[in-house]
A and B are shown apart, each in its own frame.
Chain A
Amino acid sequence: MACFLVSAAEAAIVTVAAKVMEKKEKEPAKVEFHLSDGTTETATKIPFSRKLKWLRNLLWGGSVLLAFEHVWHGEVVPWFPFLTAAGDPADFAEMLHEMATVGVTMALLVTAVWVCMLVVSALIEKRAQKAIHTEVSAEG
C-alpha cells in the first residue's frame, strides 16, 4: 500500500548523511609503493561517503521503482492525499500495519545487504594492501 515510504525515508536520511560525510572527509589516504622495476603502486581506501552512496542508490532506486508499482496498481494517485488508503480509516490502519511489517523488513534487508557489501569491500581492501606489502618486502 505504501511500504516503499519506509525505504524512501531511510534513503532521504542516508542522502543527507552522505553529503555531510563528504564535506567532512578529507582527501582519501593514499599509500604509494615504489617497486624495484621502477613502477609505482598506489593503494587508496574507499571513503565512507562513497560507501554510503551505494546504500543511497539501493534505497532510492528500489523506492522509486516500487512507487511506480503502486501507481500501476492504483494505490498512489496524483491528487491529495496521494495514497488511496489514506481516505478510509480502516484502509489507513492496514496501510500503517503494512509499512510497519513489509516496509521495515524491506529497509532492513537492503541495509543488511549493504553491510555485507561493506564487509566484503573491507576484506578486498585488506587483501590488496597485504599483497602490495608482501610484494614490496619481497623486493626489499
Chain B
Amino acid sequence: MTLLVTVFAAVICTVIWYKNAPKSEMLTGILCCMYWGASLMWLVDAIFEYAELKEAYFTPAPADMLNDLFLGLSVIALGLVIWLIILLIKDPKGVIKNMLFKKK
C-alpha cells in the first residue's frame, strides 16, 4: 500500500513537472526524484517480501493495510514538507529575498 501511494504521488508530480517544463521555478523536479527514489526502493522491498511470503503478499490483513495507508500518506506529507523547505531556502522566484530586503 505504501508503494502504491508513493507511485501515485510520483506520477502526479511528474505530470506537474512535465506541464511546467522547461521552467523549474517550483523545483518540482526535486519532488519527483524524491518520490521516484522512494518508489524504487519500496519496489525492491516488495519483491523481497513477495519472495518470502509468495501469494500471501497480496492478501494483507485489513489492519496492516490501514497502517500502510497511513504510512504512505505520512510519507507523502513528509516529502511535501521537505520540498517546501528546499523551495523556501533556494527561493528561485526571489520572493523571500524581496520580502526580507524590501526597502521602506
Contact = CB atoms under 8 A, between A and B. Distances in A.
Asked if A and B are interacting partners, one says yes
Given A65-B79, A69-B75, A58 B36 contact: yes
A122 interface: no
A66 interface: yes
A68 B44 contact: no
B78 A65 contact: yes
Interface in B34-92: 34-45, 48, 71, 74-75, 78-79, 82
B12 interface: no
Contacts of A66: 38, 41-42
A134 interface: no
B80 to A, nearest CB: 11
A109 interface: yes
A121 interface: no
Number of chain B interface residues as a range: 20 to 34
Contact of B71 (A57, A61, A72): A72
B5 to A, nearest CB: 11
Interface of A, helix, strand, loop or mixed by DSSP: helix
B44 A61 contact: no
Interface residues of A, number: 24
Nearest to A111: B40
Interface of B: 2, 6, 29-30, 33-45, 48, 71, 74-75, 78-79, 82
5 contacts: A61-B79, A65-B34, A68-B74, A106-B44, A110-B41
